[in-house]
Amino acid sequence: MGMSKPKVAHRDLPPRLVRRRKIKKKTKEVWEAYYYEHPRDEHGRRKLTALGQDLVLAKMKWAELERTTHEKARLSPEDGTVASVCERYMKWAQNRSLSGLSPRTLQDREKYWKYLGPVFGQVPIDALTPPMMLQYFEKRSSQVSAKKEVKFLSVVCSWARARGYMRAQNPVLGVTRQMKVTETREIYVTDEMLALVYKHADDVVRDTLDLSYLTGQRPADVFKMRWDHIRDGAIWLEQGKTKAKLGIEVTGALSDLLDRIKRRGVVGMTILADPKGQPLKPFGYFRSNFDKARDEADKDAKSLGIPFERFQLRDLRAKAASDIESMSEARKLLGHTTENMTRHYVRARVGDRVLPVSGKKKPE
């Protein structure tokens, strides 16, 4: 059974035994009673069982309840596998009123399990060890993805321990520090690189590239932009990741882009739509045609002898921030809380811009 959290109050009592105390207004007498605090159920609720006002008797009842709780929490061999516990976790996580997780987070965690499942699915969860985590990381072709997947497994283990589905220590604790990867993107999309892809892209991909660059938003937010989000001369949105709210003024190149999309004749509910007017998704039609455009751009770059990297759509957010001269305006556009966040974000891609040495006296 998972260990309960360290107590802040009534540390003199055993785990799950809590004290409730009241002072009667009229007599000023202190009323005191003891309760057993059960582990949270699958709905996140925690039940209290009254144990009376006598501490000795309360401890005797507590011991019996602890034994019963441990027996109930004990899983069968089939139920104690990582796959079974992860299934319980995902069922709980999908109730967003309990988990508070966003649809994107749920989607990511389902994707992580597709890689973790074949490796750890049939392993008893109490048999997981730190060396297994490190071995998985080292053998996985994408170590950036492997680290994210192992972190998700840590979340499942912590959740399981809190509910009595796991008794062993979390095998991931302290291990991810040994997993050295570069998790930040360092690519900067030059105008030449963007132009090469633009040259070979169709209208839909060009619309997506332009809208991503001009608004500086994350791909998930760009694909969700709708025509009814445009009011009072701005596109109003709430960023999915940070929940930051902002209005991007429809002016200049952005206004021209929206007019261009409207003139094409096929307009859907979302600003970005496929040739049939259906909301554009980051996969399917867009991904296929974006891949083709990048392939052709790569060929062109090699024949011309110029550098080219297969940038991703999300890299245009950093390009937008880097191309704005005002750090204050870049911060507002990206939805960062401080300019320092934006400054580090830009430096990771472009580096610092510095002045040459000038006017210094040469050594004699």
Statement: residue 260 has pLDDT above 80: yes
State mean pLDDT over 331-350: 69
Q: Which domain holds residue 26?
A: 17-73
Rounded CA gap, 311 and 194, in Å? 9
Q: Is residue 330 part of a domain?
A: yes
Statement: residue 185 has pLDDT above 60: yes
Residue where a domain stops, chosen among 148, 178, 208: 178
Query: What pLDDT is stored for residue 14 in this prediction?
Result: 82
Q: How far is CA 127 from the centre of its chain?
A: 28
Instruction: Tell me what the pLDDT averaged over the chain comes to.
Output: 85
Query: What pLDDT is stored for residue 187 in this prediction?
Result: 83
Query: What pLDDT is stored for residue 2 in this prediction?
Result: 43
Statement: residue 344 has pLDDT above 70: no
Query: What pLDDT is stored for residue 164 in this prediction?
Result: 86
Statement: residue 91 has pLDDT above 70: yes
State mean pLDDT over 145-149: 94
Q: Is residue 225 part of a domain?
A: yes
Burial 245-263 (b: 16+ CB within 10 A, else e): ebebebeeebeebbeebee
Residue where a domain stops, chosen among 41, 73, 105: 73
Residues 251 and 336 in one domain: yes
Statement: residue 349 has pLDDT above 90: no
Residues 218 and 268 in one domain: yes
pLDDT tens, position by position, 102-114: 888 898 999 999 9
Complete edge-to-edge strand list for the sheet that includes strand 17-23 = 17-23, 30-37, 48-52
Residues 150 and 221 in one domain: no
pTM over 0.95? The answer is no
Identify the DSSP state of 38: P
Please report, rounded to a whole number, the percentage of residues in the chain having pLDDT higher than 70. Answer: 86
CATH number of the domain encompassing residue 170: 1.10.150
Residues 245 and 289 in one domain: yes
Please report, rounded to a whole number, the percentage of residues in the chain having pLDDT higher than 90. Answer: 50
Query: What pLDDT is stored for residue 181 in this prediction?
Result: 84
Statement: residue 92 has pLDDT above 90: yes
Statement: residue 1 has pLDDT above 80: no
Statement: residue 197 has pLDDT above 90: yes
Range with the poorest average pLDDT among 32-46, 142-156, 206-220 = 32-46
Query: What pLDDT is stored for residue 4 in this prediction?
Result: 47
Q: 357 is written with which tokens?
A: 């040495």
Residues 69 and 86 in one domain: no
Range with the poorest average pLDDT among 4-8, 79-83, 189-193 = 4-8
Statement: residue 7 has pLDDT above 90: no
Statement: residue 169 has pLDDT above 70: yes
Number of structural domains found in the chain:
3
- Coil, strand or helix: which one is 313? coil
Q: 201 is written with which tokens?
A: 């892209």
Residues 30 and 163 in one domain: no
Residues 50 and 117 in one domain: no
Range with the poorest average pLDDT among 4-8, 11-15, 75-79, 139-143 = 4-8
State mean pLDDT over 230-251: 89
- Say how many C-beta atoms besides its own lie within 10 A of residue 155's C-beta: 15
Q: Is residue 297 part of a domain?
A: yes
Name the range with the highest mean pLDDT among 178-192, 287-301, 335-349: 287-301
Query: What pLDDT is stored for residue 183 in this prediction?
Result: 64
Statement: residue 32 has pLDDT above 80: yes
Residue 3 — pLDDT band, cuts 50, 70, 90?
Answer: very low
- Containing 59, the helix (H) or strand (E) segment is helix 55-73
Rounded CA gap, 348 and 276, in Å? 39
Residues 145 and 207 in one domain: no
pLDDT tens, position by position, 59-88: 888 888 877 766 555 555 557 899 999 999
pLDDT tens, position by position, 267-283: 789 999 999 889 999 98
Statement: residue 339 has pLDDT above 80: no
Residue 199 — pLDDT band, cuts 50, 70, 90?
Answer: very high
Statement: residue 39 has pLDDT above 80: no
- Coil, strand or helix: which one is 79? coil
Residues 163 and 203 in one domain: no
pLDDT tens, position by position, 309-322: 999 999 998 888 88
